[in-house]
Amino acid sequence: MKVTFGSLKKYVSVNLAGDNRKDTLKGALALIKADNFDLDSRFIIYQVLKKYAPADYLENYLKITVQLAVQAGHPASALAFIHICKIEFDKVDSLFEFMADYYNKTSERISQHGSRVAPLAENSPVDSPPEGVMEAKDLILEIYNQAVSTKNWNELPANVMPMPLLSDLDKQSFLKVARELSLHLIKPDTMIIREGEIGESFYILAKGKVSVFTIDTRGVEKHLANLRQGSIFGEMALVQRMPRSASVKSEEECAILEFTADNLANMSDALPLVAEALDKFTRNRLLKNLLNQAPIFKPFSKKQRKDLLSHFKAYVVETDTVIVKEGNEGAGLYLILSGEVDVIKNHSGKEQIKLATLSSADSFGEISLIKNKLTTASVVATSRTTLFFLAKHYFVRLTENVPELEEYFKKLGDERLSATNLLVSQNSNLESNEEEDDEIILI
């Protein structure tokens, strides 16, 4: 009789929770026979062996599973199993070393063209649990033998893909970060990150699925993404020292590795390398978001977007930095990679008016270029902000050759003008006339 791979996993988990030993063991045997390389199944088998098997079985099983996860191209799962070993037996130095040799930045095992073993699809037909009357001890022995067998390991990839973030570290720094991680086994429907909280950790998802969402001003939940095994999340707020911009919740049982700001502070000798790797990882993710979200890139192909981005210069400004000063000639186009800025009229005077707050993927500076007039508002960073700057001469050439962009920026100016008119009309201390209304949005 055949069942689906996903239903077999649920069968084992349900019987394990209910302490139905015989059915659990039968299901576990069918599960490990169905796919000996599946890491999700191996988390379930770990729980089965922990509950019913001798300690030496469990210890050897965990060590073999770490080696398999490393060589199969699933480093997040490997790290989770190493930390499980640490909790169960506290004998993990050799396992950390083995993984660091594979995934540090100088390893010959990692390659951008490497691969990983794909999991068996949840709807794949597999054999159902055996109908026989094997004794429990015989079932445990058979599960163990199947689980520690390496007979098919010649099918594992010769090269694996780098691990996000950690593979930018040398071996010693990799080891320090890997050892500082904390493992959390999380139940379904558990909040991991809450929108608005200060970011103190980043996370590596080693097993399961989480959902990312925000709550709008009406209290309605807006789904943003689902993340699965191997994903890293939460690093933005930690690096940028800003509140969380979204919430993250577990959709099923998850194994999550956490790295805190305190961990980072304790790594004085490795801190520069780790901070650099974390900043690089975060910036690359922000760049992908910017390329996908910023309207300036929409008329172009992926290759053209990257070519266009190469003409921008990146720099970071601290809180309260005046990026654009009212009354100056427009210097170029600014894109916000991360952080926030305020657009302010009369910034140096007593009667200031905040016209707008701009954040990631927003642009400013283009209106004064299109209208060829002086800027009539200031732009001030309200947090540590990373910017991309495109010089005036290149921006002018770009809009002349891409009519869609010129049209977009003209429309943006009209929208900002409408919003500004409303603000000005509500402020009796700033006289308004038709000419001034047109000028006020030139940032």
In sequence order, the β-bridge partners of residue 345 are: 353
Hey, where are the domains in the chain? 2-163, 180-267, 302-439
3-state secondary structure of 401: helix
What CATH number labels 180-267?
A: 2.60.120.10
Encode the chain (443 residues) as per-residue pLDDT tens digits. 899 999 999 999 999 999 999 999 999 999 999 999 999 999 999 999 999 999 999 999 999 999 999 999 999 999 999 999 999 998 899 999 999 999 999 999 999 899 999 989 999 999 999 887 789 999 999 999 999 999 999 999 999 999 988 999 999 999 999 999 999 999 999 999 999 888 889 999 999 999 999 988 788 888 988 999 999 998 877 776 678 888 999 999 999 999 988 887 777 666 678 878 877 787 777 777 777 777 778 778 878 887 788 888 888 899 999 999 988 998 999 998 888 899 998 887 777 888 889 988 888 988 788 778 888 789 999 988 889 899 998 888 888 888 888 787 777 767 766 766 666 666 644 444 444 433 333 44
Each as own residue / partner, the long-range contacts of residues 118-122 (CB below 8 Å, 24 or more positions apart, any chain) are 119/35, 119/37, 119/38, 119/39, 119/40, 120/5, 120/34, 120/35, 120/38, 121/5, 122/4, 122/5, 122/6, 122/9
C-alpha 366/C-alpha 392 separation (Å) is 9
C-alpha 284/C-alpha 164 separation (Å) is 11
- In terms of Cβ atoms closer than 10 Å to its own Cβ (0-12, 13-18, 19+), residue 21 is middle
pLDDT at position 296 is 77
The token pair that represents 419 in the structure block: 């919003």
Looking at CATH, the fold of the domain delimited by 302-439 is given as Jelly Rolls (2.60.120)
C-alpha 427/C-alpha 443 separation (Å) is 20
- Provide the phi-psi class of 212: left if phi over 0, else alpha when psi is between -120 and 50, else beta: beta
C-alpha 359/C-alpha 132 separation (Å) is 63
Each as own residue / partner, the long-range contacts of residues 173-176 (CB below 8 Å, 24 or more positions apart, any chain) are 173/270, 173/273, 173/274, 173/277, 174/100, 174/103, 174/104, 175/96, 175/97, 175/100, 176/267, 176/270, 176/274
3-state secondary structure of 193: strand
pLDDT at position 30 is 97
224, 244 in Cβ contact below 8 A? no
- In terms of Cβ atoms closer than 10 Å to its own Cβ (0-12, 13-18, 19+), residue 98 is middle
pLDDT at position 373 is 82
**What is the residue whose two structure tokens read 């009406």?**
218
C-alpha 293/C-alpha 290 separation (Å) is 5
pLDDT at position 291 is 78
- Looking at residue 128, what DSSP letter applies? P
